[in-house]
Amino acid sequence: MDDWLIYLAAIIPVTVLAGVARGVAGFGGPFIMVPVFNLFFPPATTIVVVLIINMIGNLRLLPDAWREKTNRATIPLAVGTIPTIFIGGYLLLSLDPGIARTGINAVILACALLLLSGWRYRKQMSFWGYTALGASGGLVLGATSVAVQMGLFLQAGQDTARQGRANFNVWANYASILAIGIAFFGTSHDVPNPWLLVALIPIYFIGLSIGLRIYKKIDDETLRKVIIWFVLIITSVSIALEYM
């Protein structure tokens, strides 16, 4: 199939959908793009390209996220993430990525079902609780290039849905930069047609703008439900794709 036909038929719609999801939920763009991009590009190329696209999208979300974030979450998340993301990068080179993704997705799916039942962590999470969460996020992001569990777990506490979304987006800005460095220097990442991939950035921004418009029109409780359902759907699909 011609490169441009593939681009128009599959990659563009998926990129727009990923942007919409990121604009609404605040995360999940890479989770949507990676499985589809892997059908057309080497996995190492996909990782670098998706992380770069997503990092640029992070900059669009950062101003609002910075206003809505809570320092009690963002500071310990950084303390936990920065050292462990490099351990995750080592695991990326040594573990079977399919097995790692399936195991992580199974845990995320179980947690999403728990949150959907109405369960919440009833106390304000401590500094060390957020640090542990950041450490797990660093490991998973370094090893798989996605960290959707962070967006989900930040909805489990006493912060509002918007605060949890903002805390994730602040975390994602520095974590994605570290992950790009690990992926870029630790793997082979020849891009067969770089212009096709560069063109994805404005396409992603179109979806992101649509998602942000939707986000601004929904209330906090609806946003939390949207995020949980989004995680349920994409983790279920991701697990199914591993066995197709």
- pLDDT (tens digit, 9 = 90+) per residue, 10-32? 888 999 999 999 999 888 888 78
Cβ burial, residue 188 (10 Å; 0-12/13-18/19+) = exposed
Q: What is the pLDDT of residue 210?
A: 95
Q: 155, 164 in Cβ contact below 8 A?
A: yes
Q: What is the pLDDT of residue 109?
A: 81
Higher pLDDT pick, 73 / 148: 73
Q: What angle do CA 101, 229, 242 make, to 5 degrees?
A: 25
Which one, of 174, 164, 176, 171, lies nearest residue 227 by Cα?
Answer: 164
Average pLDDT value for the chain: 82
Average pLDDT over residues 50-65: 87
Average pLDDT over residues 187-205: 71
pTM confidence score: 0.82
Q: What angle do CA 116, 14, 221 make, to 5 degrees?
A: 25
Q: What angle do CA 5, 209, 70 make, to 5 degrees?
A: 130
Distance, in Å, from the CA atom of 53 to the CA atom of 37, rounded to the nearest integer, reads 13
For 85-99, 114-128, 186-200, which range has the lowest pLDDT when averaged over its residues?
186-200
For residue 61, which phi and psi values (nearest 5 degrees)?
Answer: -90, -15
Distance, in Å, from the CA atom of 206 to the CA atom of 200, rounded to the nearest integer, reads 10
**Per-residue confidence band for 110, with pLDDT thresholds at 50, 70 and 90:** confident
Q: 211, 24 in Cβ contact below 8 A?
A: yes
Burial code (b: 16+ CB inside 10 Å, e: under 16) for 101-135 equals beebbeebbebbeebeeeeeeeeebeeebbbebbb
CB atoms within 10 A of CB 19: 28
**Per-residue confidence band for 240, with pLDDT thresholds at 50, 70 and 90:** confident
Residue 1 has pLDDT above 70, yes or no: no
Percent of the chain whose pLDDT exceeds 70: 84
Q: What is the pLDDT of residue 150?
A: 86
Residue 73 has pLDDT above 60, yes or no: yes
Residue 244 has pLDDT above 70, yes or no: no
Q: Count how many Cα atoms sit within 13 Å of the Cα of residue 82 in the half-sphere of its side chain.
A: 6
